[in-house]
Amino acid sequence: MPLDRRRFLRLGSTGALAAAVPSWTRAAGILVPPASPVVLSTWDHGLAANRKAWQVLSDGGNVLDAVVEGVAVVENDLGNRTVGQGGRPDRDGHVTLDACVQDHDGRAGSVAFVEHFPNPVRIARAVMERTPHVMLVGEGAERWARENGFAERRITLPGVQAEWKEWTVQKAYQPVVNIENHDTIGQLAVDARGRLAGSCTTSGMAYKVHGRVGDSPIIGAGLFVDGEVGAACATGTGELVIRIAGSHTVVEMMRQGVEPTEACRQAVERIVRRHRDLDRHQVGFLALRADGAFGAFSLRQGFTFAVSDAAGHRLLASEHMG
Ligand code: GLY
């Protein structure tokens, strides 16, 4: 056994490390769940997703059902330009979708670069439940979805196509910050038994290079759930999030006892330290601890998130960098 590992185990067993770890982490198995469920979602459209998730839980559904069917509401909104088939296309005019789910026990499913399916999040769940894999992409994901009972839907939205045609005149490749105050939807939930789950789904960055995949379907980047600690999800420019394994970073900080908002802030700060020229970018994190404590933080003003708990459904503005 390597020396470092022996030393770690020895410190752990003598309690020297344990003393530095907050009590709720040490007592992971007996962490007190919230008195009622807590559901969080990114952006204004998160309110509709939260209402659906809440209804699923109220009707006796489990927390995974809740986060899948919650974000599916937003995927089904063809007026939404950043999630589902209403999203803006890539440079070649294709709307390609990314989504993932993760449950309390860390099981995960994901699809990326799929076209012609209304609810990639449901396919991601099926990948988790029906295959030994975590992630399917592109043509293979589509074929698997068809073979497993998911119906294709081919639609063209004239307004979205016209906007894209106009964009092709200049082909400027500049991500737009907060232009319509919404982006990816990520949803995190904990039920009254302390069971956690999360989901994340997007059409990705408008006019991206064909084949580009962002953070949203990548476990640890766009979403991470650890039933012993909590969950986190990300929104904004996916490349920034992937480079720091953003959602995993937030959850690991909570594991060390950092409060949810502060964990999100430190992840944003890490992105800022590692990048220049962030003027045209937004990035935000949501965090939900297993006891129901939550927080959010973004690079710049404008990131809203929906909260549903015993106090009802409401929209909050995240804290942000100055
Ligand atoms: N956060 C969504 C994306 O970058 O695709």
- Average pLDDT for the chain: 89
Catalytic, 82? Answer no
Range of the domain at 48: 33-310+314-318
- Name the residue with tokens 């894999």: 133
Pairwise CA distance, residues 119 & 73, whole Å: 9
Count: domains in the chain: 1
Residue 19 in any domain: the answer is: no
Residue 4 in any domain: the answer is: no
- Res 35: pLDDT: 86
Ligand 1 in reach of 233 Cβ (< 6 A): no
Of the residues 42, 184, 202, 235, only one is catalytic, namely: 184
Residue 182 in any domain: the answer is: yes
Written as six digits, the tokens of 49 are: 């997703």
How does pLDDT run across 52-110, given as a tens digit for each residue? Answer: 999 999 999 999 999 999 999 999 999 999 999 999 999 999 999 999 999 999 999 99
Q: In percent, how much of the chain has pLDDT > 70?
A: 87
The SS3 of residue 174 is coil
**How close is the Cα of 165 to the center of ligand 1, in Å?**
22
**How close is the Cα of 131 to the center of ligand 1, in Å?**
25
Residue 24 in any domain: the answer is: no
Residue 6 in any domain: the answer is: no
Distance of CA 12 to the CA centre of its chain: 32
Kindly report which listed range (72-76, 201-205, 275-279) carries the lowest average pLDDT score: 275-279
Confidence of residue 3 (pLDDT cuts 50, 70, 90): very low
- Name the residue with tokens 């939260």: 50
Ligand 1 atom showing the smallest separation from residue 82 Cα:
2
**How close is the Cα of 204 to the center of ligand 1, in Å?**
5
Residue 265 in any domain: the answer is: yes
Residue 103 in any domain: the answer is: yes
Residue 22 in any domain: the answer is: no
Confidence of residue 176 (pLDDT cuts 50, 70, 90): low
Written as six digits, the tokens of 258 are: 């950092």
pTM for the whole thing? 0.90
- Which CATH number fits the domain that encloses residue 238? 3.60.20.30
How does pLDDT run across 223-248, given as a tens digit for each residue? Answer: 999 999 999 999 999 999 999 999 99
How does pLDDT run across 28-40, given as a tens digit for each residue? Answer: 445 688 989 999 9
